[in-house]
Structures are given as structure tokens and as C-alpha cells.
Amino acid sequence: MPASTTTASVVLTAKALLLDMDGTIVNSDAVVERCWRDWAVSHGLDPEEALKVVHGRQGYATMAVLLPDRPMEVNHAENAVMLARETADTDGVVPVPGAPEFMASIAAVPHALVTSADAALAAARMTAAALPMPAVRVTAESVQDSKPHPEGFLKGAAALGVDPADCIVFEDSAAGIAAGQAAGMRVIGIGPRAAAHNPTVHAADLTALRVTTAADGSIEVAVAIEVAGA
């Protein structure tokens, strides 16, 4: 007989929440895959292999992984072209299931957007998904190093005035999860990509989360998870 499953709840406590955008609160996979498939083919690369490293990184960093012998200035130049194309293409950009309710539930608690998108792309996608833009945000222009480097998350924590150990990161990609962990933060992995990369806890999507504020002002994030039974 197949094992049965039950639902349990894991509760993490924090003072601030740091949110990735693409794949975490906004589903932009349709655009990302259209643009990067075209780019990969134009450079003689296998698009399926390229898509394995695209998510979570800034474009120039993805290019550096896929074309390691190419001058970085060429990657930056092509990334500017890619960003313009992605910003103009919002066809199929939608909120991740549960994102509107999740964003409403965190409106009054310290939180920041930490994304590999630049400011224009972040604005375009958050608008297309009809999600509120956090007042505090760390975008591509704000950092020297792309995820999986922890710089973005550390800057987000600093902007909120919160110790990294008191932050929870929400991420979907290998690069993003690694960045949050390198920053000394706990990571809630969101969606199918996240499960294989050892986040602190994994949620199928944002409908599995409940955010409340404790009496002492701390933020409590309850994550519904499936537990295999006998």
C-alpha cells in the first residue's frame, strides 16, 4: 500500500522578511524561457541546459557561467539588451498562487524585495502581476555581485536595520537559496525548483504560508508541509 500523508506546520520566527521576486512571488517563467531560449540558440548552446542556470542570477552572471571564456564586458553589454527585452515582454507574467494574500499579510511588517532584476524590470513584472511593490528593495543596480553571492540579502537586512540571523528569505532558485544561506539567514523555498536545494523548509507555493505577528512584535511564518505516514 502507498504511504499516506498528513499535513503538519513548521513555524519560523523572524524580525524581517526578504523576498525574491521571479519564481517566488511573480511567475515570469514564460518570459524568461522565451528570452533565454532565443539567446542560447543564437550562441549555439542547448536551451534546456541554459535554463538550468538562468533562474536567480543576473543575466551577465548567467552568461558568464554558460560562456566562461567570453570577456565580461560583452556579457554586460548583452545583458543590457536582454533586460530591455524582458522589461518590454510581460505576456504570461502572473502572481505565484497565494501571492496577493501573502503580500497583504506582510504589509505591516518589515520586509524588502531582493531581486536580480533591475529596477525597471522589477517594476514591470510587479505591475503585470498586480502586486504591491515593497518600499524597501534591493535590485540589480544596488549590488556588485549577483546571487549566489549574499550581498543582496545582506543589504536588504541592513536597510531594514535587522541582524541577518533574524531574517527569513523567500526564494525559488538554487542561486537564491545559496545566497540566503551564505548570508546566515533561514530560507523558505517556494515552488518546485526550490525543493532540491535544501532550504530550511519548503512550500509548494505561497498558499502554504500564514504570516502573523506575535505579542512581542516578532513575525511568525507558519509553513504547511506534507509528512509521509505509515
Number of domains present in the structure of the chain: 2
pLDDT, tens digit (0-9, with 9 covering 90-100), for 103-136: 999 999 999 999 999 999 999 999 999 999 999 9
Active site residues: 20, 22
> Residue 181: what residue type?
Q
* Model pLDDT, residue 1: 45
Residue 132's CATH number: 3.40.50.1000
* Model pLDDT, residue 225: 86
Mark whether 84 and 13 lie in a shared domain: no
Mark whether 58 and 164 lie in a shared domain: no
Q: Which of the listed residues 47, 73, 88 is the one where a domain comes to its end?
A: 88
Mark whether 136 and 180 lie in a shared domain: yes
Mark whether 13 and 49 lie in a shared domain: no
Q: Can you give the residue range of the structural domain that contains 13?
A: 5-28+92-228
Alpha helices for 98-148 (secondary structure H): 99-105, 119-128
Q: Which of the listed residues 67, 88, 109 is the one where a domain comes to its end?
A: 88
The dihedral through the CA atoms of 191, 195, 200, 203 has a sign that is positive
Mark whether 153 and 61 lie in a shared domain: no
**191 φψ region: left (φ > 0), alpha (ψ -120 to 50), beta (else):** left
Mark whether 108 and 176 lie in a shared domain: yes
Mark whether 140 and 35 lie in a shared domain: no
Mark whether 216 and 161 lie in a shared domain: yes
pTM comes to 0.89
Q: Which of the listed residues 88, 107, 122 is the one where a domain comes to its end?
A: 88
Mark whether 144 and 116 lie in a shared domain: yes
Mark whether 54 and 99 lie in a shared domain: no
The dihedral through the CA atoms of 16, 199, 13, 228 has a sign that is positive
Minimal CA–CA distance to 19: which of 182, 176, 204?
176
CA distances from 45 to 66, 72, 160, 175, 196 (A): 8, 18, 41, 21, 25
> Residue 111: what residue type?
H
* Model pLDDT, residue 56: 82
Do residues 180 and 212 make contact, with C-beta atoms less than 8 angstroms apart? no
Averaged in consecutive runs of 10 residues, what is the pLDDT profile of the chain (230 residues)?
71 98 96 94 94 89 95 95 94 97 98 97 97 98 96 98 98 96 98 94 96 95 78
* Model pLDDT, residue 75: 96
Mark whether 44 and 133 lie in a shared domain: no
Minimal CA–CA distance to 180: which of 189, 40, 80?
189
Mark whether 60 and 162 lie in a shared domain: no
* Model pLDDT, residue 227: 67
